Amino acid sequence: MLKRLIYAALLVFVLILLGSCEVLSAPGPTEFNCSLNSDGSNFSRFDNRLFVNMGKQYYISDDLVFYLSTAIRRGSIYQNTPPQVISAHLRIIDTETMAIDIVNQKIYCATSDGIYRLPFYGSGLTNLSPAVSGSVIAPVLSTDRNYLTAVRDGHILRLNLNSGEWIEEAGFSGVTYATYVAETNQYYYYATTSNLNVMGLWRATPGSDEPTLLMNMNGAVADLKWDISHDQLYFGLYYKRKLSWRPGVANILKICDRAGTEVAQIDSCYSFAFAPSEERVCYSQYIWGMADINMLDLTTGTNDLIFDGYFTRNTYSYSISNIVLRHDGSRIFYSGSIGYRD
């Protein structure tokens, strides 16, 4: 009888002890959309204005947002009217990439009929496609706005926007995304290596059959993401494999410059986005059981924490899956899922 009383007392003590501890629990069903300034100020919780489930967001200004999916829509974050389709009669086949010329207010997109150019407002669709068979995808505009690169069957195509001439660089294979730097007459492109589970960033001169590997990462193409900074000076390669128990923990982001020098490697990275008009990258990282938001200056290496992950004492950001910056870089929208602390 005495032993039973002792065991019961010990059990009560253990339960009290466990109850006094704070434990990070699994995420609830609630997903969140938030926004804040790039310096961490003016935080707005549950800000759904940008995320309206109409495709990938291109946040030009509060008055102008483009959504890329099987159609292109134009709207604003004010949502006083639903986003309007501006690509009528076009079926978009590349729902991850389109090129935007802010200066001339033009969009370049990949459709079932080829590469099209369309204005921000009004009419004036132009089919720019070369006379080749096969789908042409991944339109990327050069920084001087004179050239457009695209990909067909793993090969690089380049359009001179002034002359209308297309050139196909058949010497490169396995290409998924490419850009042309006119001042150095070089391509920078992402392509699989001879091992299809390795993605690399390569640099090559037109007409050359000896590209230089600048950076690579293991992983199936479906588990990798890549992007280029607005000035095409920095290149990101991101391994985004999701773990069932904690998404983001094993994910790695690598960033290098044109010379192939590694500028940053960020482990346990949830998501990232290059600033649209500055040499900075915004990223979310798993740390202390939560997902935070940071801003890294790619020229100085200065890293600023702008969101620590806490909403309240008992709620926090469990993961952050999407980061979108306004074109001027001063406002950030992000989305993810909420975790609860017992």
pLDDT of residue 38: 95
Q: Which two tokens stand for residue 166?
A: 């297309």
- The pLDDT of residue 228: 97
If residue 8 lies in a helix (H) or strand (E), which one and from where to where?
helix 2-19
Give me the architecture of the 30-340 domain, per CATH: 6 Propeller (2.120)
Q: Can you tell me whether residue 260 is helix, strand or coil?
A: coil
Residue 230: predicted pLDDT: 96
Separation of first and last alpha carbons in the chain? 35
**159-184 pLDDT, tens digit each:** 999 999 999 987 888 999 999 999 99
Under-50 pLDDT residues of the chain: 1-25, 244-245
- The predicted pLDDT at position 260 comes to 93
- The full DSSP string for 178-203 is EEEETTTTEEEEEEE-SSTTEEEEEE
pLDDT at 246: 56
CA 336 – CA 30 distance, rounded (Å) = 9
For residue 154, what pLDDT is reported?
Answer: 92
pLDDT of residue 91: 94
Closest-CA residue to 100 (of 129, 54, 61): 61
The per-residue DSSP string of 77-107 comes to TT-SSPPEE-STT--BS-SS--EEETTTTEE
